[in-house]
């Protein structure tokens, strides 16, 4: 799945100068552990500025409130983005039941449905196995980066424009219920590209009769790439600054 290019990963952070040179010449790939509140574009823009490469892109958007693995392609490696995007994904998500939000995550105000939430593991797992595994159809969140008639849905939603998100077909391979804490349930989800975890949280909540939304979301895998191998943007900033200090010139 991963093209044969230099990769910036946690175990090879000391080789950052050589990786930057490769990014500027033949192209290179970075495994980034995105922090909360950063958009995927923020990560791309910061990396572009740090390594001074014009062409930088990511292989699959993460929501601003989500954390975890973002694969960033630099220079000539941007032509590999589609190949990486096609890989299956894995997420760890905490869903809060008993309420909904406009954005299907904690980025907007709660609309309380009930304070009487009792999650039965057997019931939850039965609903998941019967309705949310295999090839399914889901409606993307209104606030999503997907385009609707040429415009980003989140732009239309913020402007108060009325539109109906188009259904999409995705594959959900596995949903493990990892922990139940009151109205919060943590699950590990393995799925195909294009799957909206916020939609799964919303729809599972509806199936339970409680409503639900994403409280916490972390992407842990893209294909065989694990977030444990990723570096943070702060890691890169610190190393670039150290390199500048050591050399007395800009990196």
Q: Note whether 49 and 151 are same-domain residues.
A: no
Q: Note whether 30 and 52 are same-domain residues.
A: yes
Whether 63 is catalytic = yes
Q: Note whether 128 and 211 are same-domain residues.
A: yes
Q: Note whether 63 and 146 are same-domain residues.
A: no
Q: Note whether 108 and 199 are same-domain residues.
A: yes
Tally DSSP H helices, then E strands, for the chain: 7, 14
* Average pLDDT rounded to a whole number, residues 139-162: 76
Q: What is the CATH number of the domain that holds 73?
A: 3.30.70
Say which of 33, 63, 80, 203 is annotated catalytic: 63
Task: For tokens 């108060």, name the residue.
Answer: 160
Q: Note whether 218 and 96 are same-domain residues.
A: yes
The string of pLDDT tens digits covering residues 9-65 is 999 999 999 999 999 999 999 999 999 999 999 999 999 999 999 999 999 999 999
Q: Which long-range contacts (CB under 8 A, 24 or more apart) does 42-48 make?
A: 43/70, 43/72, 43/233, 44/72, 46/233, 46/237, 47/72, 47/74, 47/233, 47/236, 48/74
The answer to whether residue 2 sits within a structural domain is no
Q: What is the pLDDT of residue 2?
A: 81
Q: Output 144 or 44, whichever has higher pLDDT.
A: 44
* Average pLDDT rounded to a whole number, residues 195-214: 97
Q: Note whether 153 and 126 are same-domain residues.
A: yes
Range with the poorest average pLDDT among 24-28, 39-43, 160-164, 223-227: 160-164
Q: What is the pLDDT of residue 151?
A: 79
54 contacts 48 by C-beta, under 8 angstroms: yes
212 contacts 59 by C-beta, under 8 angstroms: no
Q: Output 204 or 4, whichever has higher pLDDT.
A: 204
184 contacts 215 by C-beta, under 8 angstroms: yes
Q: What is the pLDDT of residue 235?
A: 94
Give residue 1's pLDDT band: very low, low, confident or very high (50, 70, 90): low
The string of pLDDT tens digits covering residues 116-137 is 999 999 999 999 999 999 999 9
What domain range includes position 202?
89-222
Percent of residues, the chain, with pLDDT higher than 90:
82
The rounded mean pLDDT for the chain is 92
Give residue 248's pLDDT band: very low, low, confident or very high (50, 70, 90): low
Q: Quote the number of domains for the chain.
A: 2
Q: What is the pLDDT of residue 251?
A: 43
Q: What is the pLDDT of residue 6?
A: 95
């Amino acid at each position: 799945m991963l093209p044969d290019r230099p990769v910036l990963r946690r175990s090879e952070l000391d080789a950052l100068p050589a990786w930057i040179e490769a990014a500027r010449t033949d192209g290179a790939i970075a495994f980034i552990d995105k922090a909360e509140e950063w958009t995927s574009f923020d990560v791309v823009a910061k990396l572009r500025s740090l390594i001074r490469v014009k062409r930088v892109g990511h292989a699959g958007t993460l929501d601003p409130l989500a954390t975890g693995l973002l694969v960033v392609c630099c220079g000539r490696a941007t032509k590999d983005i589609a190949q990486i995007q096609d890989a299956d994904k894995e997420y760890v998500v905490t869903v809060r039941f008993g309420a909904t939000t406009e954005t299907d995550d904690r980025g907007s105000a709660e609309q309380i449905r009930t304070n009487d939430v009792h999650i039965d593991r057997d019931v939850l797992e039965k609903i998941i196995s019967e309705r949310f595994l295999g090839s399914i159809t889901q409606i993307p969140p209104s606030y999503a980066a997907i385009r609707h008639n040429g415009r980003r849905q989140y732009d239309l939603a913020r402007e108060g424009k009325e539109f109906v998100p188009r259904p999409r077909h995705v594959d959900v391979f596995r949903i493990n219920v990892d922990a139940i804490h009151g109205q919060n349930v943590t699950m590990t989800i393995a799925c195909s590209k294009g799957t909206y975890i916020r939609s799964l949280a919303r729809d599972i909540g509806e199936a339970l009769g409680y409503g639900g939304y994403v409280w916490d979301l972390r992407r842990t895998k893209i294909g065989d790439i694990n977030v444990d191998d990723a570096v943070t943007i702060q890691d890169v900033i610190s190393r670039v600054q150290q390199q500048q200090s050591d050399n007395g010139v800009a990196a």
